[in-house]
Structure formats: C-alpha cells, structure tokens
Structure 1
Amino acid sequence: MLSDSLKKTIRQIHKHVADNLTDYRPRSSQNYLVAEIAKTLAGEYHKSQRICVIEAGTGTGKSLAYCLGALPLAMAKKKKLVISTATVALQEQLISKELPFFKEHSGLDIKFDLVKGRQRYICAQKLSAAVNGDSQTQMEFMPTLSSPLSDMETKCLKQLYDAYSKKQWQGDRDSWADTIPDKVWNLIACDKHSCQRQMRAHQLCPFHMARQRLMQMDVLVINHSLLLADLDLGGGKILPEPDDTIYVIDEAHHLAHITRDFSSAAATIKGTIDWLDKLVKFAGKMANVLVGQKAIGQNFKLSDSINDAGKNLKVVRDILDNADFNYNSDDTYRFEHGEIPASLHAKAKDISDATLDALRALNKMHDTLVQDVSDGDVKPYVADPILAESGQYINRLELLNKLWFSYATKGEGIPHARWIKRLEYKNHHDHLLSDCPIEVGYYLKDKLWNQCAGAVLCSATLTALGSFDHFAYECGLAKEEGVKYIKVPSPFDYPKQATLHIPASHIEPTDKAFSDHLAEQLPKFLDDKKANLVLFASYWQMDHVVKALRSKGIEVLVQGEMSREALLKKHKANVDLGRASYLFGTQSLSEGLDLPGKYLENLVITKIPFAVPTSPIEEAQAEFVQSKGGNPFLSITVPDAAKKLVQSCGRLLRKENDQGRITILDRRLVTKRYGKAMLDTLPPFKRQIDY
C-alpha cells in the first residue's frame, strides 16, 4: 500500500516541480497518472503483478508523471528505476533536460546516468595495442580486418589514443566530436569475451569503470535493445536484478517488434562451412598458448564437433542445391507453417548437437586462457588478440546453434517463421536460412513481467481501434491479473485547434489510377503560404507524385534526398523566411517528428498506412492467424494501420497553442466499416467530410 508519508512526499515534490516549471498548468490527467502509477507500483491493485499500461496523448507530460509516480517509491523501497526508450532522441531529452530539471526542483538527491552497451566503449588495451603495434598487430587483433588501416584511419586512431591518454576523452563513441570510421572502431571496441574485468589489465577500461558508476545510480536510462540483451543473459548481468528494478518502458509500442528482431537467427550454409574451417585452425593456435593438458583435450573435442557440423552442413548444401523450391521474385522461399522438410529436419538435430558441443569446448578454452592471464602464466599482450578472435567465434557459434536448435524443434511451443533466401555471387551461390518467432509475448512474460518489481509501459499510441487488446497480446500481458490499463486524453482542445478534412473522390487507393489522381489533386490541398507535411504509404508513390509536381515547378523537400537533419533544417529555414515549405516523406516521418507552431500547419496523409504483408515474418503471422480461424486483415493489418494513422495525425499539434489542418485523401475511412472504426479512434478534431 501507498503510505501516507509517501503520498505526502509525492505531493510536495509535485508542488516544487510545478512552481519551477515555466508555463506550468495544473492538468487533471497528469495528476491522475501520477496517482495511478504510484498506486500500481505500491501493490494497491495486485500484490505481486505491479504493472500499468498507459496511453497518454501528446502534451500530457508523461515523463514528468512517471518520474513523480515511480521515483519516490523506488527510492523508498531501495529499488532502481530503469527507463527504457526506443529512440536516441528521447534518451537525450531525459538525460539532458527532464532528469536534471527533476533533480534540481524535486528536492530528491537522485543520481542518474545513460547506460550504453559495451560496444559503444573502447577497450583501453586494444587501443594501446592498435596504436603501438604495427599493421600485422592490428590484423591479429581483428581477424575480420581484410586490409591494414589507411593513413586517414591511422591518424584517427592516434587522435583517439592521445585524447584518451590525456583524459580529454572518456572512451565512448558518442562523446567523440567527429565520426569514427567503423573499421577503426571495430578494431578498438570493447567486447565481452576479451575485455573482462577479472583480468587486471582491463579493470580500468571505460566500460568497466562505467559499470562501477552504475551501481551508485538511482535512475538508469537505456534503450530497448540493451534491456533485451540483459534479459537474454538471464537478467541482472548488465543491469540491476529484475526483482530489484522498477522498469519504465517508454515508447512501448516498439517493444514487441524489437523483441522479435532480437529473438531471430540467421546463417548461411557455404559461408558457415568456410568459417568453421578457419575456426579449426584458430583453435590449434589457441591450444598452443594455453597452459595445462586440459586445453588439448578441449581442442580435440572442438575439432571433432566442427568436423561433424561441417559434414552435415555439406549434406544440407546438397539438399538445398537440388531442392525444387518455388522461390519468389526476391529469391526467397518460406516454409509453410514453419515446417521444414524431413530431410532438413534430420540434419538440423545433428548440426544443433554438434554446434552446442563446439560452443562448450571453445568456451572452456576461452575461460582457461582468461584464467591463465589472471594467474600470470600468459602475458596479456599475447592473450588479448586470441581472446578477441575466440570471442567472435563464440558469438558466431551461439547464433548458429540458435538457428539450428530452432530448426530441429518440430511442432512444439511457439510458432516460428522459417525461410531461405538464395544468394548469388560472382563465382558462387549460397543459401541464407532464417528463423524468427511469430509471437514474443511468452518471452516478455517469462523474462520480464514475472521477474520485475514493477513496470510502467507508456506511449502516445498503444490502443488500436479503441482497445488495448492487440498490444496486450503482443507483449504477453493479455489475461494477466492485476495489470492496470489507463488511457488519458491530451490536454489539447482538438475541435478548436484543428480540422480533419476528407475530400470527396471517386477514386480509392486500390484503383490503378490512384497515383496519377494523387499527383493531379494534391496541389489543391497544399497551402502556398504555410508549412506543409505530406505523408505517403510507399516510396514508389511518393517518387511518382514528386516527379509530377516538380514538372509543374513546385519545389518540394523529399525524404531520402538529404539527411533527416538537413531536411528539417531546410524546411524550418523556408518557414522562418516566410515562405511556404513542402516536406514529403513516408511512414518513418510519422513518428518522432516534432514541428511545433508555424513549422507545421498543414498535414496531408495520402492514404491509410496499411502494411503489405510481403516479408516472410508478416506472411507467417497472417498464415498463423488464418490457421486459428481468424482474419489476419482485421486482427493484424487494420489495428497496426489504425495506430500508424493516429501517429501520423499526431504530427500536427505538438503544443496547446498549435493550429492547423489535416487532410486525408483516402475515402475508405468513410466507405468501409473498418475505416469508420479507424476514424473514431482519431482525436476529436473538427470534421469536414465531403460527399
């Protein structure tokens, strides 16, 4: 329960913050959020399942709400608060603006930091070896380096070393002012296999120093990928233990998709055979460095396992070369219902077993070498390049085993999408095999929701067609007791601030003539005195319209023709000079684009953003829904499109004094039953529907 003293603390903090916030207006929706978050995390709704899912419209102030509702309680219960986001922009906003402000005006002495994956930091040992060694040393440290560094890359490496040595740079990639070439960074980046804290030479490496600081932090800001990396390791390996952590999952509408990507695996056949041959040679080199007889036995086991895997992969190669698969125009063949042929399944089990044995043997050799260095039996400069290389092979073996273990699993548990892509090269061909779970809710439920001290999931778009059902199902929260679902409206006065216009038209987007119709009609809906944003559902259609408009002398700014930053800078410059600006983009511009006030007053959406199920994963999802007697269009496509449409419309009003107009050139919003349902989920703009 939420104690009276904690309630009083939250009210006092809220008042301190409100008194110091410029243009602060008391908002009942924000107050409600603060109270509901605090009550949920205190266990007032469910003793153990302390999770709330929040859809909060633009302008609600949800980041302040979850800081107020969760932080005092987390500190009182001695829990860490981990805030996970999907975008760098929100991370930067939290670290540079929201949290410093909250610390200054809340009266709470909070410590916070941005947590990055180890690949964002240098390994000081690698940096020193790369600078002080010759090109051969560099090639040894990075087996994938196909050629020595260029003069420009060598100069960059020296600058990094000098700055780090003089303590002018902390050793993380993001704080270096200039771009660091990938070739240079890959040579010196920290990795979990060679840069280990128990080795004396690595104890002061930037990543380990950063991790030491984290233990003193009250609030950690991370991204969803890092959260999943920690969960995949069992939780508490990168971040604090889940049962000691309250999670805020901001931009939560991305969570299921990122989890699915994280859970997938892929590997080629011939390419794998080649690197397995190289691994056998490397293992011999590694065994010669190790102290003691055990390493020799592990080397024999590793070689035998790799030989077994290689033989079976060659059989698979022959099966695929002779298979009569009906590949599509993208050279891809998807196995229906994820079921692979019996011949492939038999080999999958053998390859899965062999790669697991190889992985165990290599891990033991790797751990032995780490111990040898710690004992002083092997010099760090000898071990480091070998550990770096074995680390790469361990990563590859883990992914390879993940793929073949899944292929060896037949008709059990969660449905998977499985497919093959044919690869053609100049002198040879190969096959890329892929695997991805269709549903990831079970994973999140098992690894996160059942383990954490509490969680707040929030976004401006979590409902689809007025319900949380689709999101809850995707994220493993459906039918879970005690999960609190909260939807709070934006403080905007939508009918006064914006008009939603659906013009009359006899041509729908499904008609072949729609693209030409769009090119002809669009100029009527552009404002030649204001800032315009036009959103398209496909690059092809956007290019078609752009060519037609430019032929009429209309100047447009087009996504993809310059960087996003340069595009927005040019757009704002046009508006600042009092000119009209026409910004054209696709779905990726419908999220995270912040153009307040005069920078966007006229928004045109060309069609409902339906996703075409062309990827093997989407096809498999649709197939799975059909196999259960469902309608994939109504249960997947429509809800996803409804959420995207809300996001698109959300570009117009960013602040309470913004004004503007939204035009949607898709009559299906009024002619189709699903369209009317979509229309009803949009904010209550003033409507103008022409007939």
Structure 2
Amino acid sequence: MGNKFVVVDLETTGNSPRKGDRIIQIGAVIIEDGKIIGKYSSLVNPGKPIPAFIEELTGINDEMVSSAPAFSEIAGEIMELLDEAFFVAHNVLFDLGFLQDELQMAGYEGFYGSVLDTVELARILFPTADSYKLSDLAAREGLSHDRPHQADSDAYVTGELLLLFLDKLESFPTVTIKSLTKLSAGLKSDIYLLLEEILQQKEQVVEEYFRSIEVYRGIALRKKEVSETPEKQQVFLFPEEKEEQQKLLKKAIPSFEVRDGQLEMMNSIYHAFSDQRHALIEAGTGIGKTLAYLVPAVFYAKETQKRVVVSTYTTQLQQQLLIKDFPILRDVCGFPIKAILLKGRSHYINLARFEHTLREEDDNYDTTLTKMQILVWLLETNTGDFDELNLSSGGMLYWNKIKNVPVTFLQTKQWDSRDYYLRAQKEAEEADLIITNHSMLLMDLVSEETSIPSYEFAILDEAHQFEKVAGKYYGRALDYLSIRLMLNQFGQFDHGQFFHRLEKLIEKLDGRANIKVPTKKLNEAMINLQYETDELFKTVTIFAKRKKRQSSNNNKLQTMLTQTDNSTEWKALFAVAERFSFLLKDVINAIEDRLMFIENQKHRLTEVEKSFLEEISLLLKEMNKVRNKTREVFLFPSGQEIRWIETDLRSVQNMTTVYGRPVHVANHLRNDFFAKKKSIILTSATLTVNGSFQYIKNELGISEFSIIESQIQSPFHYKEQVQLIIPEDLPDIKTVPETEYIAAITEHIISIAEATGGRMLTLFTSHEMLKKTYELIKESGLLDDFALIAQGITAGSRSRLTRNFQRFEKAILFGTSSFWEGIDIPGEDLSCIVIVRLPFSPPDEPLAVAKRDLILQQGGNPFNELSLPEAVLRFKQGFGRLVRSSTDRGIIFVFDRRIITTSYGKAFLQSIPTVPIQRATIDEMINFINKWL
C-alpha cells in the first residue's frame, strides 16, 4: 500500500486546549510502503507550569521543557511532516484537536487531510480484545512498550500496531473487505479510504484459496474444524489402585506431588457414580480438586457411555477448565475426550438474522461498528459465542437483534448447516463431558425449552452457591430499567413510526378492516403505558420509603412487600399495578391481532419485512413475561413466596426492582433435580459448619437422601503458614458509636499496612463502613504511598480491581460481599487479611427475615439454624483467600472480638484449619508482624 502515514502522539498539560492546556511533547513515526521509515520527537515549552499529576504520569517536568522550543518554533516542521499523509493517532480526535489549536495559534491553517483512529481500527480488527488501551493492545500483540505516556514511545507502538492492522486487513477475503467498505462510510475516521484501496487491489487479482475460510451466502466464515477420527472401541477402566492413579497423574504433570486428598476425592466420586448415590465433598484448598473430579468423571463417561455434566458458579472457572485443565486431563487419560462448553441459546449468533441486518441501511454509529466487528469475528470464531466479543453498550442492543432465538416469520433453514447453536447442541449430544454453569443448569430445570441434553450424572463445583442461584430461577424480578428499555424499542411512539410501519404492511396485505384497534389508538395506548410504568415504580418507591421509617445510613433500601395491612399505600400500589397490567394486556392484544393476520399471509412479505416482524414478535414475548410477573408479584401472589422491594434512595424510580421468590428452594431442588438424577456430586472448599454438612443439606433439600459425605483436609501446613491475631485494644462495636469504632479500626489498618508493606485485603460486611474507613484513611494522608483500591469506589469489575491490586507493590484492597470468595491471589501478592466484622447477614435482609420467621413457626432456633451457619461458611471463604499454595504465608486479623468473647465464636474457629491464635495490643501486633513476615 503506497500511502504515507504519520502516527502522532502528544503529551499535554491537561485535557482541554479551550481551557488553555498546551502540548509538552510531540512524538511521530512516518510509515511508507509497509515500513517505519522515520521518527520525529521534540519536547515543547508550554509557557506555563506542568501540573503535578501530569509530571507523575509522563515523567516530564518544568526543568526538562525550560530550554525546549515553543510550539510556534516547530509548527512549520510539523506541517511539512503531515503533508499529503494520513494523520494517525490512538484516539485521534484528542490529538488532532490539540494540534489544530496549536497550529492555528502559530498562524497556520491547520491540518485538513485524512485521519485514522487506531482505537476504532482496533475495535474492528480485534473484536475479542479485553481492552483497547494502548498499553493493553501492545501487551496483547507482544510489542515492547517501555515508556507508556511518553509521546515518542507511544507513537512508535501505535505505528507498529498500525502495520499489524494493515497486514490483517490485506489478509481478509474480498467478500469481507467488500462488506466492511460498504459499512465504513459511517465511521468517525477515514477508514473507508484504506478499505476502498485494498478492495481495488483485491479485485485486480485472482483471489487465493483460503484453507480455513469458506464463503456462504455472501459471508466469509471460519470453516468448522473437523474433529479427530473416531476412536477404535477401547476399554476404559478407572485405575482403582493408588499406584496406578499416581502413575497416570505423574505422566501428565512434570511437577506432580503425591496428594492423598486428591486420590481420595477421585475414588469417592468414581464410587458415588458407580453406586448411583449423591455425594457431598468438602475439599480443602490445595488438594487439586479440579483434576480430582474431572478424572473419575471422564473415565465413568467413557466406561458407561453416559455423559457427565460439570457445572461451575462463575464463567471464569468454565474458561479455566477448558483452557488450563482439559489439556492436562487429556494427557492424564491418554485417550480422546469429547468435551464441550455449553451455554444458553441466546449466547450464540443467529447468522440468518445477521445476514438480514447487513442489508438494512443503518446510520447508527454503534450498530455500524458492531456489524464490522462481527464480520471480522466470523473469520476467527469456532463457537459463535457472544462472550468472546467486546461490544459497546450500543453494540449490546444490536446483539439483541441477531442473537439466537426461535423465529416465527424468518426463513432461517438455509443457515441450519452453519448454525453455531445447533452445532453446539449436536456436539453436546456426543460429548463425554458438558461444561456449563449453575445458572444454565437451573434455567434448564425451570424453562420449557431445554438446552442441555438429558443427563443423570453431574458434578457441581462451588456448590455452596447453588441454593442462592436457584432462588433467582425459582423467583422473579421486575425492574424499572429493563421495562423502559423494552418499551423504548418500539421507537418514537409520539411519531408512531413503529406502528405506522406495521399499518403499511397490513394495507399491503389488504387487511385494514380486520384490525380492531386503529393505529392512532395503539400509539396513545403506548404513550399511556410509558406513563403508567413511571407511575408504578414511583408508587413502589414511595411504598418502600414509608414502610422503612427508621433513618438508614445506607443508600440502598430493602423493604418487604407485604399486604398485611389495608393501608392507603398498599391500595394505591395495587390500583396502579392493576392499571399497568390491563394496559399492557390491551397493547399485547392489539399487536397480536395484527401479527396473526400478517402471519397467515407471510409468503407475500419481503425478507426485510419478515425481519422487522421478527423483532416485534420477540418484544411481544418480553411484554407477556412482564405482564405475568406483574400479576404474580402484585396482583395474585402465592402464599409460599416472599416479596420485597430494593431501591436506591438517591434516584427516583430508576434503580428500583421488585422481587418475588420462594422462601426456601429446598423442596423445588429436591423434587425437580436431586430426585430425578442418579448421582450428583456437590463439592466446594466450604460445605461444613463445625464439621457437619447438616446446614447445606437442609438448604438444598437433600437431608432424606442416602448421601456419601467426605471432608478432605488441605495438604497445607496451616500451623506454620498462618497466624490469626485478635486485637485486644479495639472497642466492642456494640458499646461505642459507629464513628468511634471506625476511627479505631482505621488506626489499626494504617499501622498494619505500614508494618506489612501493603499486600493486604480488608473485608467488610457493610459498604457504608468500607466507604467511611476508606475516606478516613485517605484523609489522614498516612498511606499516600499506597495504592488504595476499594470496591464500589474505585471503578472496575471485581477481577479488574484484583488485577490492579496485584500490579502494585504497596496496595490495600477493600472489599465487601463478593470479595469474601472467588478471588484468587496466590503468593506474595497477598500476605495479610483483615476481617473487620464476622460476616453475619444484615438482620433486616428480606430473605433472611422470611427464613427466620419460618424457622420460628416450626419451633426452631433461627440463630443456630440459619444466621450462624451462613456466617461461618462466609468466614471460611474469607479465610481461604490467604493461603493458595504450599509456600504462601500470611496473617489474618479478626477485629470482631465476638470470635473469642461469645459461646458461638467457637463455631468459627472450629470450622477453619487449626492455626495459632494470639490476642495482642497494637504494639505487640506490629512487633510480631515485623518478626514473622
């Protein structure tokens, strides 16, 4: 490609040239004929002081730029450099905006040539990248980026990325380039110029044959990989002898250490399957749990020709199984294993729907970009699974148009041979192991359309979460935002475009006379429905606030939705829910009436019209679901259910959700799941309380089954690896005001952090207390050289916060509920955990209240049967974060003195491995830390 590209990066005193910010460094590389042929770099004197945070970010200070030229002195060189070139930058509008202002101030017209944005290019060409930050893209492609936030280094890496992008574009089949070119006019930068040139070149030569790509109905796809040749009939026998089992594991794992617990677990699972019994296996950290269940599962599947389902709580663990554990499993077994990761239908793309949307003229930027991302992704994906993609929020809306759902109007049969969902289903039918997650497993139990082929044997990893997830699937939730989103998809009601389009179709099919509700009336009904949605959730929020009269520090409000009184609040709520439900029914009937008429004549419709009708019928299904939930939650609730409202006091109705679910899902799980399956293995590091499985058995409804129970101890030497310290000089939270308690724990956290040098996870039970402690530490300025990372305050997901924590030498991670478990920080990255309070659920949490009431009605003790075991399991999870390998060492501080001052405190200590326990004042603690770490 003969173009000239100048890749530019600027460092500046701030983000806004309009507010007087100026350039302090410019870096550029020149690319011609697919090679970097020159570089340009200069510091620039901005004529004003460089702010401290910019100095920290870039390493450039006032002294360095004091003798540098002003921008006006180098403006001529810059103009010469950019002459007849593409101006390229990572987030081009930022750099170009700054440069234009500086050039104009220096008396030049500015740059008005073609521009390319490498962020936009990266989004299109790397549709599965986790992040589009320059440093992350460089790391992904193995480019060395030694000085991030220095203009010359950033420009060079951006140039190298551009060369990769150009190569990649030139490697695409002509049909993909054609489709991309057609879409590219709607982008922010001039990518269409590149694409048009590549297309011209490709059309002049005979296209080479792509071995891994096929073109079908005008779309280029990655060819399905042909699976291995079918194996000969082999005999697969599970090795019962310990020596044989060790030999197998040694063969695949060079660093294999004999772990008796691992072999014990393998045997327990194999025998549970063979005897067709359910099993509960608590597996301590470090026994090699994953292989311990995969090996017997795959041997049993091969021997009996019965598939085994493996279900995890998180999708991260699913990916880990597939990427990290399966290659080892194949080496261990030495025979071919068919394993598939199976997800719900809507995770997969529907290529027929995608083909239709490509024909639609779309001026929406997000949609255009997403279509281009998907065209590139189809050249690479084997699965067609949406989780591989990194889409914008607008892209997610577009995904709803092309996800795999049952269709009414569209003819999609022609794509069946290439359909990813059907392919996954077929592979699942033939698989030895099907990997899924608890959500999908439960959705399969409660929905009419099943995705998982029938099975009788399953392993549930992270099984302590299964009951919680089941509550969601046996319950229902109505939230304001998703209802509004659904209604908004009907477009501009006031302009009536959506229904006007429908009316035009009916006119085309001569059916005006059959329509009972005229379009004008339907538009009015939709406007009223919008209004009633707002009214319903406003009334719900008022109801919640009135019920909860005591002042609460927390912004999140949870209130039971009970009809015990005949209060005016309840009557108002019932009336508005009834109006909402009736109005929804009228709209549904009017649309169904139109669709029924059209469906009888669908052979007369064009493909674009059918595609439009498909969208309507999907929305109709959503509306029916919302109406059913409204009736079940507000109008005809079941006596067996608990209902509650969750809202955020800072917003009006936008953050309000109404929930309904059974108080206990135990009966449902027993009847729908455990009674129908031959053998379910439940495993986790936290299933027992005080050495007993009784609590988890009650929660899952399996107390009456004959169950194999096994507690396998961790091989770690906790006595040498862990110390547990309880501060003597902290006040009892019950006896002092909260502010005094927070001040005291803040002081302790600061002292501990200074002594341990960070690498510290601090676990709270209340977000409010976390926030106040974090703010007090910040305010003190005593830990200014530490990275303070706080859930709900520092932006990012749980895994991103964890990654950031690991990046810094001196860091403290503050977390609440979700950080008590499931985060894995091995080695020296974590050497200290502070547990601020024992993790009892808040006393007014609706579900806990309902469960407590039920236990009381049955003459039981809610504290011993519910609150305590739940808190102990969570405590065990928190404790388990510290030691992740046999070489880890660390200290756990428990600030809550109830662990030693109350009779129930013993239950916490007896549920974790035996470790040395000390009580100490702050000074004694510091001395001990210094010696021990």
Whether TM exceeds 0.5 here: the answer is: yes
1:593 and 2:823 correspond: yes
1:277-676 equivalence runs, <5 A? 288=506, 326-328=546-548, 333-336=559-562, 378-405=605-632, 412=639, 414-419=640-645, 433-479=658-704, 481-505=705-729, 507-510=731-734, 511-512=736-737, 513-526=740-753, 527-529=755-757, 531-550=759-778, 551-554=780-783, 555-560=786-791, 561-563=794-796, 564-575=798-809, 580-676=810-906
Q: Distance in 2 between matches of 1:163 and 1:431?
A: 37
**Aligned with residue 29 of structure 1, among 247, 251, 261:** 261
Q: Distance in 2 between matches of 1:367 and 1:486?
A: 58
Tell me how far apart the structure 1 counterparts of residues 883 and 541 of structure 2 sit (CA, whole Å): 58
**TM-fit CA distance, 1:351:** 9.7
User: Take 1:664 and 1:536, find their aligned partners in 2: how far apart are those partners?
Assistant: 11
Counterparts of residues 178-189 of structure 1 (less than 5 Å): 181-183=394-396, 185-189=398-402
Task: In structure 1, give the amino acid aligned to 2:372.
Answer: K
Which range is displaced more, 351-360 or 75-84? Answer: 351-360
Name the counterpart of 1:255.
Answer: 466
Inter-partner Cα distance in structure 1 for 2:682 and 2:515: 50
Partner residue in 1 for 2:48: none
> How far is 1:238 from its partner?
0.3
Cα 1:281/1:469, change in 2 over 3 Å: farther
Task: Give the Cα–Cα distance (whole angstroms) in 2 for the partners of residues 544 and 406 of structure 1.
Answer: 36
Among candidates 74, 89, 95, match of residue 301 of structure 2: 74
Instruction: Name the amino acid aligned to 1:574.
Output: F
Change (3 A) 1:624 1:282: farther
CA shift, 1:90, in A, is 0.9
Tell me how far 1:424 sits from its aligned partner. Answer: 11
Distance 1:193 1:177, change over 3 A: closer
Could you say what secondary structure the match of 2:812 adopts? strand
TM-score, normalised to structure 2, is 0.61
Cα drift, residue 91 of structure 1: 1.0
| Per-residue deviation, 1:353 | 11
Query: Take 1:255 and 1:266, find their aligned partners in 2: how far apart are those partners?
Result: 19
The whole-number CA distance in structure 1 between the counterparts of 2:865 and 2:410 is 49
1:79 offset after TM fit, Å?
1.6
Q: Residue 138 of structure 1 aligns with which residue? A: none
Bigger relative contact order, structure 1 or 2, given CA contacts below 8 A and separation 6+? 1
Indicate yes or no: 2:378 matched with 1:149. Answer: no
Shift of 1:445: 1.8
Distance (Å, rounded) in 2 between the aligned partners of 1:398 and 1:581: 46
> How far apart are residue 597 of structure 1 and its match?
1.9
1:143 corresponds to which residue? none
Cα distance in 2 between the residues matched to 1:383 and 1:75: 46
3-state DSSP class of the match of 2:904?
A: helix
Aligned match for 2:250, one of 1, 9, 18: 18
Distance 2:659 2:611 in 1: 33
Contact 2:281 2:709 (8 Å CA) reproduced: yes
Question: What's the offset of the Cα at 1:647?
Answer: 0.9
Aligned partners of 1:127, 1:611: CA distance in 2, in Å? Answer: 46
Residues 197, 208 of structure 1: 8 Å contact kept: no
8 Å contact 1:610–1:638 — kept in the other structure?
A: yes
Q: State the Cα distance separating 1:51 from its structure 2 match.
A: 1.1
How far apart are 1:433 and its partner, in Å?
4.7
CA distance in 1, matches of 2:654, 2:878: 42
1:624, distance to aligned residue in structure 2 (A)? 3.1
CA distance in 2, matches of 1:72, 1:363: 52
CA distance in 1: counterparts of 2:814 and 2:249, whole angstroms: 39
Query: Is this contact kept in 1: 2:252–2:332, CA < 8 A?
Result: yes
1:265 — aligned with what? Answer: 476
Provide Cα deviations, 1:471-496, integer angstroms capped at 9, x if missing partner: 122222122x2222221111111111
8 A Cα contact 1:81 1:220, kept in partner: yes
Deviations 1:148-200 (A, max 9, x none): 622x5423322322543x56675432333676744454354314233899841
Once the two structures are TM-superposed, the CA of residue 249 in structure 1 deviates from its matched residue by 0.9
Indicate the residue corresponding to 2:427 in structure 1. Answer: 213
Q: Which moved more, 1:517-526 or 1:565-574?
A: 565-574
Instruction: Call closer, same or farther: CA 1:249–1:360 in 2, change over 3 Å.
Output: farther
One-letter amino acid of the counterpart of residue 327, structure 1: K
Say which SS state the counterpart of residue 113 (structure 1) adopts.
strand
Indicate if the aligned counterparts of 1:287 and 1:296 stay in contact, CA closer than 8 A.
Answer: no
Distance 2:718 2:397 in 1: 51
How many angstroms apart in 2 are the aligned matches of 1:394 and 1:455?
Answer: 34
Q: Structure 1 counterpart of 2:250, which letter?
A: A
Cα pair distance change 1:217/1:339, threshold 3 Å:
farther
Q: d(CA) in 1 for partners of 2:835 and 2:709?
A: 30
**Residue pair 2:787, 2:808 contacting (<8 A) in 1 also:** no
Give the superposed CA RMSD: 4.5
- Whether the 8 Å contact between 1:420 and 1:432 is mirrored in structure 2 is yes
Give, in angstroms, the shift of residue 549 of structure 1. Answer: 2.9
- Cα deviation, residue 603, structure 1: 2.0
Q: In the alignment, which residue of structure 1 is the partner of 2:403?
A: 190
Superposed displacement of residue 504, structure 1: 1.1
Look up the equivalent residue of 2:421 and give its one-letter code.
F
Letter of the structure 2 residue corresponding to residue 157 of structure 1: K
1:609-629 Cα distance to aligned partner (Å, 9 max, x none): 222144433333333334434
Identity %: 23
2:77 corresponds to which residue?
A: none
Q: Which ranges in structure 2 are unaligned for 5 or more consecutive residues?
A: 1-234, 550-555, 922-933
Could you say if the C-alpha distance between residues 23 and 283 of structure 1 is closer, same or farther in structure 2, counting changes exceeding 3 Å?
Answer: same
Q: Determine whether 1:678 maps to 2:908.
A: yes
The verdict on how the C-alpha distance between 1:134 and 1:456 changes in structure 2, with shifts beyond 3 A counting, is: same
SS of the residue 2:547 aligns to: coil
Alpha-carbon distance in 1 for matches of 2:732, 2:351: 60
Deviation at 1:403, TM superposition (A): 4.3
CA contact (8 A) 2:251 2:331 kept: no
Q: CA deviation at 1:652?
A: 1.1
Paired residues for 1:124-163 under 5 Å: 124-135=351-362, 149-150=364-365, 153-163=367-377
Q: Secondary structure at the match of 1:492?
A: coil
TM-score, normalised relative to structure 1: 0.80
Q: Which amino acid aligns with 1:468?
A: F
Task: Count matched residues.
Answer: 648
Whichever residue aligns with residue 916 of structure 2, its letter is: K
One-letter amino acid matched to 2:686: T
User: Is the 8 Å Cα contact of residues 689 and 907 (structure 2) preserved in structure 1?
Assistant: no
- Give the superposition deviation at 1:568: 3.8
